[in-house]
């Protein structure tokens, strides 16, 4: 009975994916002519509605279709009802965003409608992001320690050399600074980097800097405000943009705003209810009981309705203005699901007032198109709040492909993104395999291969090859380009400038060169094959065509093409290619 009808939103819906308010969509379903379907209905409802609107579909041969104008923005959900002579069926969504015929209505398909058309068409697209935790990347010149930070002169030493106490470990710094980053700009340029994403750089009393002490100044161990502005200018000269980490859900308890440790001359919220910062925070029992991020008392969170704080960040003369005026191109918003849509919109509006192409990247670990937090559906895309998000779903799916040797999860995730994300967001996605919050990808792969380093290198080539060629922008966490591993379980070790130039580094350079093809800026994606350990997809535009082949099973992958392609890895030119187990191939055709 499952062959009674079929629907694929990537083939039978035009246009596919998210649309803009005011556009119309044609929905089309295919029915089996051997079993007469008398009528078909599109069942459609908006997110907040309970009941569906039944819209009659017109018949044409073995298809039913209907054109629906969308005059409102938001999340819309739909299903199909099919009426036969003496029974009815429903055509509902499956795990892979395909369809299945059911006796009762199953899961709905999503139609996302944005409030206005995205204009961010020349931002991160087509480039490569490089993520830097300043303290661990490179140090140059004089390093001036300050309390309460503990300066370690053993660059690259064990993270847990002195203690197992995480609070003390967080105080230990290795002295990486802006001068060090500036000294490596040519290195980054040669690697093909077009955007540097910095973990927090504002004054903070930790090595990670997510416990902001003063938003209005960079951390003095990194350098001065003028030195940072010079770094941004020098990067721009090399065609490299700078994106900053915006931490606007919480501050540090040891800050000019809270001042729990009485380190600063300011009257902090912890010191007096008369403090001008008191209204920012949520005290249960003043002063020692207060709301904090995930219960960590060194990170008191900001009240969601603190408009004074929102103005401090996104208002006239605020934090966003300060750094955008220094030449910064955009922001990544830390834990964006823990700040309100209203605040996110204020930040985005301020950032984009400098350029319609300014990136605003949200830290979202799940499907951002349907993300719900604090019982509310988020408006990241429907109200054009974010033009990029961190692509955790693809990261996990790539690793699952290596782990299970089957691409089903990867196929499903990509279909989900193609169906739910606006095209501009797809092209702007921050794709990655490691961040400061996750294990180093080479360490993770070594675990999968039981320490087999040669097999791990092959797996890494497959994982990075996929990441570099999918829609979105590949992001390299500093050191991943040479296979940097975890240090005492931490991904935040120091870059090894004496031993980075190895086989893995050469592979990354090759991928960076391939990445320069224009098809990777905004080319379409089509999944060609996804089973038996083999995953094949293509990227195409009017002028270029790329086919990516991967194989994780013993059976060889053989492909015959209608025209000749050039291997971007071996330079072989042919119309047939074979791929052994644990190998990747990237083929190119100029149209």
Cα–Cα dist 15/113, whole Å: 12
Domain finish residue from 93, 114, 135: 114
Does some domain include residue 457? no
State the residue range of the domain holding 257: 250-301
Burial of 316 (0-12, 13-18, 19+ CB in 10 A): exposed
Q: What is the pLDDT of residue 291?
A: 97
Q: What is the pLDDT of residue 26?
A: 98
Q: What is the pLDDT of residue 431?
A: 98
| Dihedral (Cα; 153, 159, 162, 167), 10-degree rounding | 110
Does some domain include residue 70? yes
> pLDDT tens, position by position, for the chain (591 residues)?
458 999 999 999 999 999 999 999 999 999 998 888 999 999 999 999 999 999 999 999 999 999 999 999 999 999 999 999 989 999 999 987 899 999 999 999 999 999 999 999 999 999 999 999 999 999 999 999 999 999 999 999 999 999 999 999 999 999 999 999 999 999 999 999 999 999 999 999 999 999 999 999 999 999 999 999 999 999 999 999 999 999 999 999 999 999 999 999 999 999 999 999 999 999 999 999 999 999 999 999 999 999 999 999 999 999 999 999 999 999 999 999 999 999 999 999 999 999 999 999 999 999 999 999 988 999 999 999 999 999 999 999 999 999 999 999 999 999 999 999 999 999 999 999 999 999 999 999 999 999 999 999 999 999 999 999 999 999 999 999 999 999 999 999 999 999 999 999 999 999 999 999 999 999 999 999 999 999 999 999 999 999 999 999 999 999 999 999 999 999 999 999 999 999 999 999 999
For the record, the structure tokens of 17 come out as: 């994916």
Q: What is the pLDDT of residue 503?
A: 98
Does some domain include residue 65? yes
Contacts of 11 (CB under 8 A, 6+ apart): none
Burial of 186 (0-12, 13-18, 19+ CB in 10 A): exposed
**Residue 99 · residue 13 · CB < 8 Å:** no
Pairing of strands 330-333, 360-362: parallel
Per the structure, the count of domains in the chain is 3
Cα–Cα dist 7/100, whole Å: 8
Q: What is the pLDDT of residue 2?
A: 53
Does some domain include residue 54? yes
Give the residue ranges of DSSP H helices in 96-165.
Answer: 134-137
In the chain, what is the straight-line distance between the N-terminal and C-terminal CA atoms, in Å? 43
What's the CATH code of the domain at 72?
2.60.40.10
**Residue 97 · residue 416 · CB < 8 Å:** yes
Does some domain include residue 240? no
What's the CATH code of the domain at 531?
2.60.40.1180
**Residue 78 · residue 27 · CB < 8 Å:** yes
Does some domain include residue 576? yes
Domain finish residue from 242, 270, 301: 301
Does some domain include residue 332? no
Q: What is the pLDDT of residue 1?
A: 43
Does some domain include residue 538? yes
**Per the omega criterion (within 30 degrees of 0), is the bond before 224 cis?**
no
Q: What is the pLDDT of residue 258?
A: 98
Q: What is the pLDDT of residue 33?
A: 85
Domain finish residue from 301, 332, 363: 301
């Amino acid at each position: 009975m499952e062959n009674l009808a079929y629907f694929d939103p990537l083939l039978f819906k035009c246009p596919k994916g998210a649309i803009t308010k005011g556009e119309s969509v044609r929905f089309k379903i295919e029915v089996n002519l051997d079993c007469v379907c008398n009528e078909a209905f599109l069942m459609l409802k908006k997110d907040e509605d309970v009941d569906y609107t039944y819209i009659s579909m017109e018949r044409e041969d073995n298809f039913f279709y209907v054109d629906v104008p969308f005059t409102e923005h938001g999340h819309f959900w739909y299903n199909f009802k099919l009426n036969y002579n003496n029974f009815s069926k429903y055509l509902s969504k499956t795990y892979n965003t395909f369809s299945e015929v059911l006796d009762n209505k199953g899961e709905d398909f999503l139609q996302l409608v944005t409030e206005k058309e995205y204009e961010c068409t020349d931002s991160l697209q087509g480039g490569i992001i490089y993520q830097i935790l300043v303290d661990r990347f490179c140090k140059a010149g004089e390093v001036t320690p300050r309390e309460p930070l503990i300066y370690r002169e053993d660059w690259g030493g064990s993270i847990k050399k002195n203690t197992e106490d995480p609070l003390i470990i967080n105080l230990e710094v290795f002295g990486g600074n802006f001068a060090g980053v500036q000294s490596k700009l040519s290195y980054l340029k040669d690697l093909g980097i077009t955007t540097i994403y910095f973990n927090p750089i504002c004054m903070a009393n930790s090595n990670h800097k997510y416990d902001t002490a003063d938003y209005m100044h960079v951390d003095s161990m990194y350098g001065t405000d003028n030195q940072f502005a010079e770094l941004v200018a020098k990067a721009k000269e090399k065609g490299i943009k700078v994106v900053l980490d915006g931490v606007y859900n919480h501050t540090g308890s040891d800050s000019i705003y809270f001042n729990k440790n009485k380190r600063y001359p300011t009257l902090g919220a912890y010191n007096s209810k008369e403090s001008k910062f008191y209204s920012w925070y949520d005290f249960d029992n003043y002063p020692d009981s207060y709301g904090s991020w995930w219960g960590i008392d060194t990170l008191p969170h900001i009240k969601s309705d603190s408009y004074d704080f929102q103005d401090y960040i996104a208002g006239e003369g605020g934090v966003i203005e300060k750094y955008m005026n220094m030449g910064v191109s955009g922001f990544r918003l830390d834990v964006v699901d823990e700040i309100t849509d209203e605040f996110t919109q204020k930040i985005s509006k301020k950032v984009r007032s400098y350029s319609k192409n300014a990136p605003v990247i949200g830290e979202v670990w799940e499907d951002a198109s349907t993300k719900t937090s604090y019982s509310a559906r988020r408006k990241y895309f429907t109200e054009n709040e974010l033009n990029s998000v961190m692509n955790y779903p693809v990261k996990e799916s790539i690793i699952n492909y290596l782990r299970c040797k089957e691409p089903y999860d990867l196929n499903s995730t990509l279909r989900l993104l193609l169906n739910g994300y606006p095209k501009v967001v797809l092209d702007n996605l921050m794709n990655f395999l490691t961040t400061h919050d996750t294990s180093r990808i080479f360490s993770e792969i070594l675990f999968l291969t039981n320490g087999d380093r040669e097999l791990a290198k092959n797996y890494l080539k497959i994982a990075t090859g996929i990441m570099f060629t999918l829609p979105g922008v590949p992001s390299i966490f500093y050191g991943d380009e040479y296979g940097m591993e975890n240090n005492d379980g931490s991904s935040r070790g120091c870059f090894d400038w004496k031993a980075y130039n190895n086989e893995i580094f050469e592979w990354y350079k090759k991928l960076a060169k391939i990445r320069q093809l224009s098809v990777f800026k905004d080319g379409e994606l089509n999944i060609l094959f996804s089973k038996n350990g083999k995953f094949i997809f293509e990227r195409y535009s009017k002028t270029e065509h790329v086919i990516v082949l991967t194989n994780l099973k013993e059976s060889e992958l053989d492909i015959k093409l209608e025209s000749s392609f050039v291997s971007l890895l071996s330079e072989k030119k042919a119309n047939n290619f074979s791929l052994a187990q644990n190998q990747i191939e990237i083929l190119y055709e100029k149209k």
